[in-house]
Structure formats: C-alpha cells, structure tokens
Structure 1
Amino acid sequence: MFCHRVKTLCKIGVLLSLILLSRPVLAQHGELVMATTFSPGATAWIIQRWQTQPDSVTIRTLNRTSASLEQLLDTSNAENVDLILTSSPMLLQHLQEHQKLAPLEDIPQNSQRLVPESIRSTSVAVAISGFGLLINRSALAARHLPAPADWDDLMHPRYQGALLMSSPSRSDTNHLMIEALLQQKGWAQGWETLLASAGNLVTISSRSFGVADKIKSGLGVAGPVIDNYANLLLNDLHLTFSYFPQSAVSPTYVAVLKKSQHAAEARRFMRYLLSPEGQRILADANTGKYPVTPLSSDNPRAAQQAVLMNQPPLNYRLILKRQQLVQRMFDTAISFRLAQLKDAWRALHSAEARLKRPLPEIRSLLTRVPVDAANSENEAWLAQFDNKSFAEQQMMEWQLWFLNNQRQAINKLEELK
C-alpha cells in the first residue's frame, strides 16, 4: 500500500512538472522578459544599473542552457520573451533560421564587426570575453603542483584527478572554447590535446559556470572557463585566473524577438548597453566582461581588452556546420566513457613513469579520433548529421572504434609488465 501511494505521488509530481513546463512565459505589465544562457550572477550587475535609469522597465530573466532556450523559443509558449542575451552564435543562428528574431538597423560598426556575418542582420555584440584557466591556489598548493598556463600543461600526468571541464553539448560557451582549440591546433592535434587532458579530469560539469563553482569549492584545482564566470569569483583570494596565450574572443550578443510585445523597450535596453554609459557598466569588473568600445589607455583592463580584440576571429561558418559533429564526438570520446578513459590514462602514466620513457604508440591509440581532418570540414558530409539515424549510426561506430583502440592500448601495456 505504501509503495502504491509513493508511486501515485510520483506520477502526480511528474504531471505537475510537465504542466508547469508547458505553461507560457507570462510577462507582467511593463516588464521585459530576457532569455539568457548566462548565470544569474553574470547578468545581475547589468540589470541593477539599468534599473537606475529614468523610466526604465523591470527586466526578468530566464536563465537556461542554449538547448533549453532553443526548445522553449521554438514553441508558441515563448510569445512573451522579448529579447535574448547570450554568447552562443549557434542559438542565434537557429532562431534566425526559424524567423524568430527581429531585424536590427543602425548598429555601430565597432560592434557589428565582432558578430558572425550570418547573424549580423538580427544580432548585436555589446561586450566581449576571453577564455583561460581558473585555478584554486590552495588546492594547487595542497597537492604541491605548479600552476598550469595553457592547454598543453593540462595533459601532464601530474594533474591526474585534478581538472574540471564542461561538455560542448551542455554548454555553447565550452563549445566555442573547444572549437578555438581545434582551429588553433588543427583537428588531429586538437583532439589529441583534449583526450590527453580528459584523462586528468575529476568529472564533466553540466554547465560551464559549474566548472568555476566546483573549482571554487576545491573539487578540482583548475579548469578551462570563460573569463566572465571566473572574474566574478576573484574576490576569493584562493582563486586566480589566467588567459590562454591565444584566447579567442567570445562576444556577448543581444537580439530582439520578432513577436516581442515590448519591442521598443527591448531596443531601448539594447541601445543603453551600446551607449557610453552602458559600455562603462560593461567595463566594470562586476560583469566579468569587456566592452566592445576601446577602453582608455589608463584603464587597468585596457591591455587585456586590446589583446582579445586583436585575436584572429574564429571560423564561425565552420563552427555552425560541424556543431553536431564536435558535440557528439566529445560525448562519445570523453563524456560517455570518462571512467574507462581515466583508467587507461592512469595505466599509461604509470607505465611511462616505471619505464622512464614515453610510449608514443600507445598514446596514439588513446588520442586518435575516427573522423579525419578532411571530413571535419566537408560540408556535404557534415550536413548528414541533420539526419538523426545517420548521427546515431556514426556514434555507435565511434563507440566500437574507441573501445577497440582502448583494448589494444591496454593489451600493449600488459605486455610491457
């Protein structure tokens, strides 16, 4: 009887959850609803300063993942969302292709040059960020480890069980960071770096800002993150952040929904963010970001802003074309087999330490991926991932491929004993 009641209550709970999720997003009178992929902490300062403006309207945020927002905004229940604040060009591309975004006019050139060409008609860049490593100095000292400075350092066996990372399928911010690595190092070497680093992971975080929170709590000593999440935590003296030497720039975009019931107010908020005052607020360390307009030379953040602004732009056309490939490859190679991956790397590190020499043949088995560089840029082949059956078939083949390579690596390691 008790079990029956518990099951009944669980069913009621699930039903209520589904009803709540299916309800429309309702805006109060004179209220802007802003859907955003950022954490509440990353938007609080901007909204707080906006509310001090004469005749400003209240802004309510919906903080969700890119995939969750994409799903929400594809439904009729999203009629009351007015604008989007995100660092995901993939989300904006999807919304534009589905005629969800309103066209924009008279956008300053210093802003639009940062926006991928395919979404310039509907999206505007209001701030920029960069990528780097957030480090817990106390946790680092407790393990007697040097501070890592770049992706290459994360591959070192000394960081075994010490690193944190998110998945590109869970975080578009993390996707852009991984694409920057793949584009800078090349497809094969980029995956070699990712797979070797993954052998040192504690876990895969479900959100990119979750990486920062877990490092703060001491779960790991370091992890790659975007600066605006890291900078908000740097009042903690145990934490430090350093940019990758070749950090790509990641703009923060604003777009207005075509069906916004407060389009004029939404555009006023966007213009405010691009105004001198709005840019000063975005230059404040409380946002963790940098404005799109150059800072004065006496500003302590001006030098890093200039470094980011001068980085070569990412190939967004390629990013959008192979989005599904990169996400599915990462999860198949790393997320879904993390425990086995860590065991294999632990065994390899132990063997190399015992033999006092590298084992390149075995490393190669653990760092190769089943898609070559040519196919990773072949638009006709990549387009097939829009077919769910094709994508699932590829993932099954990849799983077997990785399993076979790992078995070969373990067998070779056992032969060395």
Structure 2
Amino acid sequence: MRRPGQTCVAITGLAAVLWALALLVAAAAADNAPADELRIITSYQADVVQPLQEAFERSHPGIRIRVLNKNTHAAVDEVLAGNDRRFDLFWASAPEAFAVLDKAGRLIDLGHGPHADFAWSAVGWTWRGPRDGPVPQDWNDLLDPAFAQGIAMSHPMRSGTMHSLLETILQDRGWQAGWAWILELAGQLSTISARSFGVLEGVESGDFAIGLTIDFLALTRSDRGLVFRYGRPVIIIPARIAALRGGTRPQAAAAFMDFVLSPEGQRILLRSDIRRIPVDPDIRAELAQSLHPEVRAALNFSWSRYDPELAARRYWEVKQLFEAFVARDLLLRRELWRRLRALEQALPPERARIRRLLTWMPLTEHQARSAPQDRETLLEWAERSHTILRDAEALIRRLEQPR
C-alpha cells in the first residue's frame, strides 16, 4: 500500500513534470512561430493598420503580419515586463511611451535610431455639427459654464493620446497653471471614458456636447458629422514606431519600418480614412492646402513641438495625479464647481478663496517625481485631494446658509 506521504510526493512530482512540459510547449510555440511572421503591438485600430499592412504584404509576399491592438498604457506595461510574447514592433501615437521604453532599454536600433517618427498630430476637441449654441474657440472657452457637464474625455491610463493632451496643457502653461486648468475642467466633465473611441461615439450620438481628442480620430469621422478644432497654440506631437528587444524577426521589422517611412507608406497616410500628417515634407506638400494654417505654422517652428522626454520623465506621476485629483472624486469635484457658480450672493474674495482650493495642485513637479511609485503614495495623494475638497465644501456650505 502506498503511504499518504508517498502519494503527495508523487502528485507533486507529476505537477512539476506537467509544469515543465507546459513551459517547453509555450517556449516552442514562440520559438517556432512561422519564420515569416512579423508581430506588431499597437494602439491603432484596424482602419489605420490594415491599409499599411496590406500594402506592405503585397510588396513583401514572404512576410505575414500579426497585429495585437492594445491601449498604450497596457502595451508599455507588457513590453516593460519583458515582452514575453516577443513582439517585433511597437506602434503608437504617444511619443512619451517610446521615451519610457527607450530609457528602460526595451527598444533596439534597426537603422532609424531607437524609434522613428512617421506622422504628426495635434490635440483639440470635437463636436457634432451643425451645433446650436456656442462653440469653444480656445482651451479657456472649454471652462465656460455653458459647457458644464457637457464635455467628455478618456482616462490617460487607458489612452495614450489623452496623456499627450494633458501634457500639451502642462507643457504650454507650466505645472501649476496647467493643473489649475485641468482641475477646473473636471467641473465641466460629463464623463471620463475608458476608451478614446467612447468619447467620439458619445459625441456622435449626442450624449456629449464636446469631446477632447486628437485630430485624426475626429477628422476621419467628418462624414458622420464631427467637426474638429485644434487647441491653440497648436503643439505638434510625433507619432512613432520602434523595434522591440525580444522580437524574433528584426529583418522583417526593419523592412516594415522602412515601408512606413517610404513615399508609398507616407502617401497612404493621406487617405481620407486615416488623415495623418506625414513626416515626409514632399508627401505632406500634397495636402498643404487642406492643412489648418496654424498646423502649417507649427510645423515650421521648433518651439511649437511637443517634448516627449519631459513627458516621459513624469509619465507615471501625471497619470496617477489625474486619477487621484480628477477621476477618483469626479462627481464631488464637479458638484462643488456647480455649487460655487451658484453662489451669486457671495463676495468676490470668498468665491476666490474657494476657487483657489478647487484649482490647487498641492504637489510641485519635484515633489511628485520624488515620491515613491507605490500604493502608499497613491493613497496619500488621494487623501490630499479629498481633504482639499472637504475644505472647499465646508466653505461653500457656510456661504449657502441664509444671512
């Protein structure tokens, strides 16, 4: 008769053997992928990827492409964790994501440097036309009470382009003034969507009056009634593609990068269902007349360019501060802004004091970047935000009392 201890040892040994076999099968599946398979992880939807993919495969019949669509934040996390699925290329609109991966040593140079810019973009807002009522002309117009609870945006943890939009504001206005604008914008928000396309779909359906977005996402939906306006000043953001460490098809990856940057690949970006601004100046000249004048001007000046390195240095902090100070207590912050605007009888100094609280980011950039990137920091930031909101609410409640 087998003793219980012997049974346990046998089961444990069998489990170990099965686990080892599973690892071998997984490794073999990765190592024995078709020799012609190029793996791309991208934040782009099929309407951007497929035209370039199909054109590339026609000119390179020996290479087959497999694409995984994943939001930028999740894609960066996967690559930083080791790129276990051995993707060959990363392709996205948020340039700071590439700077983060480059700093971590996750990108390789196949002839274009650690990454290559292939298109330009800029951020702004969209609405469904024709619109009854006012239309925002600049960023500050979005703070007008006429748009209260009518604006939608996506979460920067789920949308690389929304992280770039926040950085556009912070880089243009500076840390404190930029956060003051973002915190006041929170009072205008109808929702924070988990998807960039959720914002556009909501504007199309009439659920939201205004949607914050990046140019090409709205411009490709102009046939559905969407109108897009660039925020001023127009700050040009490069979209990038890069080869990944751990990929298994470097020659195919280099060929695809070459194609995207070639005249043929750049010209595909001009299609009405893609609407990207090519980096190739000769190809870009073909749409010069249709480019917004401020975009043409911004392309000619270095001061109007986005700083991906700066955005990368505070990549984690900006996302987490948005979560702690905007997303976490959105309903309360929005309600306090509504109540503040209703205090018509309050004296200007009293209203100004409450406004200062509602637009106050209590952490400097240095303090935020010096904090440990751990759960305790996130809880501390959330508590600081909530404390400020409680203080503002106490002041509002006192002023709401009959005098």
Change (3 A) 1:317 1:390: farther
Identity among equivalent pairs (%): 27
SS in 2 for 1:61: strand
Find out whether 1:179 has 2:171 as its counterpart.
Answer: no
How far, CA to CA, are the matches of 1:331 and 1:76 in structure 2?
A: 26
Contact kept? 1:39, 1:209, Cα under 8 Å: no
Deviations 1:71-125 (A, max 9, x none): 32244563431111012333323333343222233x4xxxxxxxxxxxxx31010
Change (3 A) 1:310 1:387: same
The residue aligned with 2:377 is 391
Q: Counterpart of 1:33 in structure 2: which amino acid?
A: R
Aligned counterparts, 1:7-406, within 5 A: 28-55=34-61, 57-75=63-81, 78-105=84-111, 107=112, 121-137=113-129, 140-141=131-132, 145-236=133-224, 238-294=225-281, 295-296=284-285, 299-302=288-291, 304=293, 305-310=295-300, 312-352=304-344, 359-371=351-363, 375-376=364-365, 378=366, 381-388=367-374, 391-406=377-392
Q: Counterpart of 1:285 in structure 2: which amino acid?
A: S
How far, CA to CA, are the matches of 2:88 and 2:360 in structure 1?
A: 45
How far, CA to CA, are the matches of 1:416 and 1:368 in structure 2?
A: 28
Moved more, 207-216 or 336-345: 207-216
Change (3 A) 1:400 1:183: same
**What's the TM-score once normalised by structure 1's chain length?**
0.80
Contact kept? 2:317, 2:369, Cα under 8 Å: no
- Structure 2 gaps of 5+ residues are 1-21
Q: Counterpart of 2:299 in structure 1: which amino acid?
A: M
How far, CA to CA, are the matches of 2:182 and 2:105 in structure 1?
A: 36
Moved more, 262-271 or 178-187: 178-187
Q: Counterpart of 1:288 in structure 2: which amino acid?
A: R
Deviations 1:138-184 (A, max 9, x none): 5x42xxx2111222111111112211012222222111111111221
SS in 2 for 1:62: strand
Find out whether 1:410 has 2:396 as its counterpart.
Answer: yes
SS in 2 for 1:296: helix
Moved more, 355-364 or 191-200: 355-364
How far, CA to CA, are the matches of 2:217 and 2:155 in structure 1?
A: 16
Change (3 A) 1:233 1:34: same
SS in 1 for 2:269: helix
SS in 2 for 1:33: strand
Deviation at 1:383, TM superposition (A): 4.2
Contact kept? 1:81, 1:260, Cα under 8 Å: yes
How far, CA to CA, are the matches of 1:192 and 1:163 in structure 2?
A: 17
How far, CA to CA, are the matches of 2:347 and 2:63 in structure 1?
A: 66
SS in 2 for 1:288: coil
Deviations 1:311-333 (A, max 9, x none): 52233333222222222221122
Deviation at 1:357, TM superposition (A): 7.5
Deviations 1:335-389 (A, max 9, x none): 011111121111122223x779793232222111212xxx31x3xx444334415
Size of the alignment, in residue pairs?
370
SS in 1 for 2:305: coil
Q: What is the RMSD of the two structures over their aligned residues, measured on CA atoms? A: 2.8
Deviation at 1:28, TM superposition (A): 4.6
Q: Counterpart of 2:358 in structure 1: which amino acid?
A: L
Q: Counterpart of 1:281 in structure 2: which amino acid?
A: I
Moved more, 388-397 or 218-227: 388-397
- Structure 1 gaps of 5+ residues are 1-18, 108-120
Contact kept? 1:136, 1:221, Cα under 8 Å: yes
**What's the TM-score once normalised by structure 2's chain length?**
0.83
The residue aligned with 1:6 is none
SS in 2 for 1:135: strand
Contact kept? 1:126, 1:252, Cα under 8 Å: yes
SS in 2 for 1:283: coil
How far, CA to CA, are the matches of 2:226 and 2:368 in structure 1?
A: 40
SS in 2 for 1:41: helix
Moved more, 156-165 or 178-187: 178-187
Change (3 A) 1:355 1:385: closer
Change (3 A) 1:302 1:165: closer
Deviations 1:265-297 (A, max 9, x none): 111111111111111112333222100022226
